[in-house]
Amino acid sequence: MTRRSGLHLAPALTLALMLGPVLAGLLGTLAPALGLFPALGGTEISGAPFMKLIQWPGLGPAVRLSMTTGLLATLLSLGITAVLLAAWHGTAAFRWLERALAPLLSVPHAAAAFGIAFLIAPSGWIARALSPWATGWQYPPDLLIVQDPWGIAMTMGLVAKELPFLVLMALAALPQAQPGRSMLVAQALGYGRMTGWLKAVFPRVYAQIRLPVYAVLAYSMTVVDVAIILGPNTPPPLSVQVVRWMSDPDLTLRFQAAAGAMLQLALVLAALGLWRLGEGVVARLGHGWALRGGRGTRDGALRFLTMGVGAASVAAILLGLAGLALWSVAGVWRFPHLLPDTLSLRSWARHGPGLSDPALDTLWIAAAATLIALALVVACLESEHRYGLKTSTRSLWLLYLPLLVPQIAFLPGVQTLALMLGGDTGRGAVILSHVVFVLPYVFLSLGDPFRSWDSRHATVAAALGASPARTLWAVRLPMLLAPVLTAAAVGFAVSVGQYLPTLLIGGGRVQTLTTEAVALASGGDRRIIGVYALAQTGLVMLGFAAAIAIPRVLWRNRRGVKEG
Amino acid sequence: MPQTGLILDTLCILKQGAPLITLNARIDPGEVLTVMGRSGVGKSTLLAAITGTLPPAFQLRGRIVLNGTDITAAPPQTRHIGILFQDELLFPHLSVGGNLAFGLPATVRGRAARRARVNAALTDIDMAGFADRDPATLSGGQKARVALMRMLLSEPRALLLDEPFARLDADLRSQIRRFVFDRAQRLNLPVLLVTHDSADARAAGGKVVELKAP
């Protein structure tokens, strides 16, 4: 009387939906890179696309930018994460920082980048705060701070956004490293807080967060939306140039776009390899450092410096968002005034109506992608529970694959394949492409709470005569409502923030708040950018607010239900 | 007349092919069999085998027969074997009444009829009027009684007890113990008690077997 519910197919289906597009997309990008694209007359293998790519004069700087911004952003975020934890983990100040970091994770990359751009621009808040008394500027100076040719602004923006991610991943990994006991021993041996932590705890934490770090590296090297907003223009980082070629009306440019995408993939693989080598070197050096026995007891000043860096990173995003909000309601705002001279709702009144269409599209796409991902993840986890499957390290790698393979390397291929097969590149395709990126995050978010649920509840329910399905719907999911909704909010935020899949798979016909906002970047109208970026952030925040509020309201008389 | 009671016919639980627990026992209706053993010897694994929730890492040999029916391969929800754990495991998202209604068979139809059964059950355990309460607000003794009543409402044909009194303080422990054994006896249920507390075994008053690794 074991009814097959189809649940056992869930893991395979999930993998297919998640990895299918990645693998097919890579092939679909590789083919035109080698000259094969029958619809465009490419019927035999040729080296022409790569030759064209090499002849592009911007290639050298574009490649260099991708490598430097990616590696530097990753190094800095990881380094700051390590010293912040070393200096402050377990203190009240750290809990405060942690509470501030968690919501920042949900701020879409594009909105955060716009906010930071407004902050550091020659006419931005920092310049205004210092003018004219310190700088003497009566007018915004003619400096290229945002979109600087070295990609410094872009790197800073990435660090501010990736730091919360890595800190929270490290915090999730910490309990397994048992930092309390190690620190007790280290301090009893006379080690200073930071030195003891870095020597005794960090190596174990790093081993746990290696995959997220790799994901940050791959992401930072290949990000498009942040690069369009904060990165240099001529030439841009390689990924941005590939998108330009992909969007060009001259379809023959698609060949070199594909070649560029493949080069980008090779760069990411090379950088990951380099990082791996670096891990070995740092491990060797760190080992020697630990064995030399230096206690590093005088770390007081350094501790405060690290807190300053952490707080500055939080402040950059928060002030950036505040700046966006202010610009969206600013009337006249002359330089160097710190606050607008007049306030007006004109920007909202003018752009509000145009906002509703992309906002609704964003909402539907995100809701659908999240629902599909959530259903698959719950089905996978439940089949894991029912059939006693164990998740191996290998399957964790598979989960991270869509986050490690650059979007720019496989999404053009997915688009090409969709076009070749005469498929639809509308909303449905966009939703499926979002699922690829939403799934891993929903899985990572829900996996631990789902697995750590006391399965004796299932035994009791079965002993009471409840079928596995009833146990899932009437006991397990209601008890896990808070983590389920949190995972949904995370997935929703990931979908809302997607730029490249919407742009490429939507064929330019699907407009979300994110694609609209990024498209406004070149126009530089701060008021309308403020409106769009704020709407984008607001939508994500609404999702998280709902995830927090619904369990509280529903279980307000149920103290025993843990909050997620 | 088929044989009544719970029969564990040359039961052997293996982990990766190696035998972990063996037990051959027969528990008549109204009788308590106490299984004792050090912690970690696999008492809970034994109970999981009987409820049908043995993790796939284990294999089961032998037969489990309840009131003449072989249930060795039956899915857990059709076995009619009740179980109480050390924790009450009341569903925290349901009210006290909701927990009891969860145990009540679906054959009791109609809102009013179900509600009446739940209220009667609450009166039976001296908790009339508790139906809408949050289980988290109950005392330890009240939780234990609700957990037992929830199980009994599901009309089990045998009862397994996994150290159900270990968490309670001494006073309450003897009181709840008596309550559970009384109820089981009144319903003529075969009871399998797993414990490491010899006072539990004495109170149960039945046969005692020591569980050892073979």
DSSP letter (8 states) at residue B22: E
**Is A475 in Cβ contact with B51 (below 8 Å)?**
no
- In this structure, what token pair is assigned to residue B134? 């949050």
Q: What is the signed CA dihedral for A87, A93, A96, A102, rounded to 10 degrees?
A: 0
Q: Is the pLDDT of residue A212 over 50?
A: yes
Closest CA to B193 of B201, B182, B183: B201
Interface A–B counts its CB contacts (< 8 A) at 86
Residue A396 has a pLDDT of 80
- Considering only CA atoms, which of A90, A250, A93, A110 is closest in space to residue A180? A90
Confidence of residue A564 (pLDDT cuts 50, 70, 90): very low
Residue-wise pLDDT for A326-378, tens only, equals 999 999 998 899 999 999 999 999 998 989 999 999 999 999 999 999 999 99
B67: nearest Cα among B199, B155, B149: B155
**Shortest CB distance from B151 goes to which of A454, A463, A475?**
A463
Q: Could you tell me the residue ranges of all domains in chain A?
A: 1-39+347-564, 59-110+150-291
Split at pLDDT 50, 70, 90, the class of A136 is confident
CB contact under 8 A, A454 and B57: no
pLDDT at A4 over 60: no
CB of A412 within 8 A of CB of A504? yes
Mean of per-residue pLDDT scores for chain B: 92
Residue of A460, A471, A476, A559 to mutate for B, most B C-beta atoms under 10 A: A460
Which one of B102, B108, B191, B194 makes the best mutation probe of the A interface by having the most chain A beta carbons within 10 Å? B102
Structure-model confidence comparison of residues A562 and B45, the more confident one: B45
Give residue A563's pLDDT.
57
Residue A439 and residue A528 in contact, taking contact as beta carbons nearer than 8 Å: no
Please indicate if any CB of chain A lies within 8 Å of the CB of B52.
Answer: yes
Superfamily of domain A59-110+150-291: MetI-like (1.10.3720.10)
- Which of A465, A561, A562 minimises the CB distance to B77? A465
pLDDT digits (tens, 9 = 90+) for A262-299: 999 999 999 999 999 999 999 999 988 988 888 888 88
Q: Give the C-alpha distances (Å, rounded to integers) separating B36 from A19, A302, A452, A506.
A: 51, 58, 28, 66
What is the average per-residue pLDDT within A56-69? Answer: 95
Task: Report whether B21 contacts B214 (CB < 8 A).
Answer: yes
**How far is the CA of A195 from the CAs of A297, A303, A478, A522, in angstroms?**
8, 11, 45, 46
Does A478 sit within 8 Å of B93, measured CB to CB? yes
Cα–Cα distance for residue pair A337/B175, rounded to 1 Å: 76
Question: Mean pLDDT for chain A?
Answer: 91
Choose the closest CB to B102 out of A456, A464, A467.
Answer: A464
Cβ-based interface (< 8 Å): residues of A facing B: 1-2, 387-388, 454, 456-468, 474-475, 478-479, 481, 555, 557-562
DSSP state, A563? P
Q: How confident is the model at residue A1 (pLDDT cuts 50, 70, 90)?
A: very low
Window from A67-76, A119-128, A298-307 with minimum mean pLDDT = A298-307
Give the model's pLDDT for residue B1. Answer: 44
pLDDT of residue A424: 65
Whether domain B6-91+139-210 has CATH 3.40.50.620: the reply is no
pLDDT tens sequence across B28-50? 999 999 999 877 778 889 999 99
Do A59-110+150-291 and A1-39+347-564 have the same topology in CATH? yes
Q: Which of the 8 DSSP states describes residue B194?
A: E
B81 touches chain A (CB under 8 A): yes
Interface check for B110 against chain A (CB to CB < 8 A): the answer is: no
* DSSP conformation letters of A288-312: HHHHHT------HHHHHHHHHHHHH
Give the span between the Cα atoms of A415 and A509, in whole angstroms.
Answer: 13
pLDDT > 70 fraction of chain A, expressed in percent and rounded: 98
Residue A202: what pLDDT? 92
Strand B191-195 relative to strand B158-162: parallel, antiparallel, unpaired?
parallel
Query: Residue B138 and residue A307: Cα distance in Å, rounded?
Result: 45
pLDDT at residue A26 tops 90: yes
Pick the CATH number of A1-39+347-564 from 1.10.150.170, 3.40.50.720, 3.40.50.970, 1.10.3720.10: 1.10.3720.10
Across the range A109-128, mean pLDDT stands at 93
Return the minimum-mean-pLDDT range out of A1-15, A138-152, A366-380, A503-517: A1-15
Yes or no: say if A434 and A497 are a contact pair by the CB < 8 Å rule.
Answer: no
- Give pLDDT, residue A72: 97
Rounded average pLDDT over B185-193: 95
Collect all residues of chain A within an 8 Å Cβ-Cβ radius of residue B51. 459, 462-463
Grade residue A542 by pLDDT with cuts at 50, 70 and 90. very high
B150 in contact with A, Cβ within 8 Å: yes
Q: Where are the domains of chain B?
A: 6-91+139-210
Q: Give yes or no for a contact between A304 and A88, defined as CB atoms under 8 angstroms apart.
A: no
Query: What residues of A are in contact with residue B89 (Cβ under 8 Å)?
Result: 454, 456-457, 460
For A239-250, write each residue's pLDDT tens digit: 999 999 998 999
pLDDT at A423: 67
B1-11 pLDDT, tens digit each:
457 899 999 99
What is the three-state SS of A306-367? Answer: HHHHHHHHHHHHHHHHHHHHHHHCECCCCCCCCCCCCECCHHHHHHHHHHHHHHHHHHHHHH
Q: Report the pLDDT value the prediction gives residue B79, as an integer from 0 to 100.
A: 95
Tokens of A123: 């006419």
Residues of B in contact with A387 (CB under 8 A): 56
